[in-house]
Amino acid sequence: MRVVARINVAAIERNVALLKRTVGADTAVCAVVKADGYGHGAVPAARAAIAGGATWLAVVTAGEATVLRRGGIDARLLVLGPLDDEDLSEALDAHAQVVVWDDEGVDRLVRVGRPADVHVKLDTGMGRLGQRDAQVALDLCDRIATTTPLRLSGAMTHFATADDPDDELFGLQLGRFSRWADDVRRRHPGVVVHAANSAATLRDPAAHFDLVRPGIAVYGMDPANEDPDRHGLEPALEWIARIASVKPLEPGESVGYGRRFVADRATRIGTVSAGYADGVRRAPTDPGEVLVGGRRVPVAGRVSMDSIGVDLGPDAGERPGDTAVLIGRDGDERITAEDVGRRLGTINYEVTCAIGPRVLREHHRDGVRVAGRDAPAAG
C-alpha cells in the first residue's frame, strides 16, 4: 500500500452507541452516511452504525442510496437532498424515503405515481432547502397525507448554528420547529419528527424529538472542530502513507517544485507517498506536519500530486517502507482531522471528505481486519 485510510468500525459502533445512550429509548438514531460516510466508506460505516444502535440511515443523493442497497444494507433510509424525476425513481427503487418542501416536489411524486414515504422539511432559519412558511408546510403535510399512493412519514428541519453555543438562532429555530411539529402531530399522529444534527444531539435534549440525524459524531469527530474527547467521541479514521525514499540533503539544497524548502542544515528528507491527488491540500502556506517514528516532522516544500517531502532531521533513522501518519496517533503524538482542519482554515468534515478515491480504505474492528469496500472477505 502507498497510502491508506484505516477505519475502525468498532469506533463507529461505540460512537453510535454513545449517541443512542444520549438520546434514550424514545428517540431513534439515523446515522448520516452521505459523501461515502464522510470519506469512511458508506457501506461499512452504515453496517457499524446499525450494530451500534442506529435504526435509520440518511444520505443526500439517490446514487448514495443505491450504493447502500447494493452493499446489502436494508435499514430504513432517508434521502435528504433534492431529486429530479430520474433521481426520484432511483430513490424509490432503493426503497428510500424522500423529502419535499414545496408543491412542485409533491407534483413530482404524483407524476411518478409510485408509493413513497415522504418527509416535509420546514426551513426554520438555515435559509437553504425547506419551506419557509409554516402554514404552507402544514398544507403540504395534509396534501401528502390525502394523496394516494403517498404516505406522510416525517416532519423535519435542519439547524444552522447548533455547534455555536453563543448564537441565538438555534433557540429560535428550535422554537419555530417545535410549534410547527406540534401542529403536524395533532393532525397526523405517528409522523416521525426530527431536527438534530450531531451538534444539536449533543447539545440539547429538547432538539431530540423522535429521531436524531448525527453525521460527524458517528465518525468520532467533533461538530465544532474541537477536541472529540470532550464528548467522549472516538475518531474512527487514520490516514497513513508510506515513506518511499529517504535521502540526505546538504545545506542550500532544496525539495520539491519551486524550491519552497531549502535546507539550512544537513538533514534527511523523506518522500511520503501522498499528494494532492490523494487529498493532501497544496494551497495552504503552512505546510503542516506528519508523524514519523512517534515524532512530529514538518512537511518540506510544496505538496505535489503524488507525494510530499518531509524533513526527518539529520539524525533520522527512518528507511523506505516506514510509515508517516497524516491523521492518527503515533506513540504519544496525535494529529486529528480537527487539527488538520484548523491549519487549513476549514473543518474536520471537509478534511475526511477530501480524502481521495485513490486512497485505499481498509476497515478493521479494533485491529482485526474486516471485509470492506476494498477488502473483500477471503473465502
One residue of 161, 198, 307, 323 binding ligand PLP per CB under 6 A: 198
One residue of 33, 45, 68, 216 binding ligand PLP per CB under 6 A: 216
Please, which of residues 23-42 interact with ligand PLP by CB under 6 A? Answer: 32, 34
In the complex, least distance from residue 80 CB atom to ligand PLP, rounded to whole angstroms: 5
Q: Write the interaction track for ligand PLP spanning residues 157-176; mark x where CB under 6 A is met and - where it is not.
A: -x------------------
| 309 is a contact residue toward ligand PLP (CB under 6 A) | no
Alpha-carbon distance of 280 to 287, in angstroms, equals 10
Stretch that binds ligand PLP, among 192-200, 306-314, 340-348, 364-372 (CB under 6 A): 192-200
Catalytic choice (34, 38, 276, 349): 34
Q: Which residue's beta carbon is nearest to the bound ligand PLP?
A: 215
Please, which of residues 82-101 interact with ligand PLP by CB under 6 A? Answer: none
Q: CB-hemisphere CA count at 13 Å for 152?
A: 24
| 214 is a contact residue toward ligand PLP (CB under 6 A) | yes
One residue of 40, 203, 208, 213 binding ligand PLP per CB under 6 A: 213
| 235 is a contact residue toward ligand PLP (CB under 6 A) | no
Alpha-carbon distance of 223 to 332, in angstroms, equals 24
Does the annotation mark 34 as catalytic?
yes
Contact 359, 278 (CB under 8 A): yes
For ligand PLP, the closer CB: 200 or 292: 200
In the complex, least distance from residue 368 CB atom to ligand PLP, rounded to whole angstroms: 28
Does the annotation mark 121 as catalytic?
no
In the complex, least distance from residue 211 CB atom to ligand PLP, rounded to whole angstroms: 11
| 231 is a contact residue toward ligand PLP (CB under 6 A) | no
Contact 174, 153 (CB under 8 A): no
Interface residues toward ligand PLP, by CB under 6 A: 32, 34, 80, 158, 197-199, 213-217, 223
Active-site amino acid positions: 34, 257
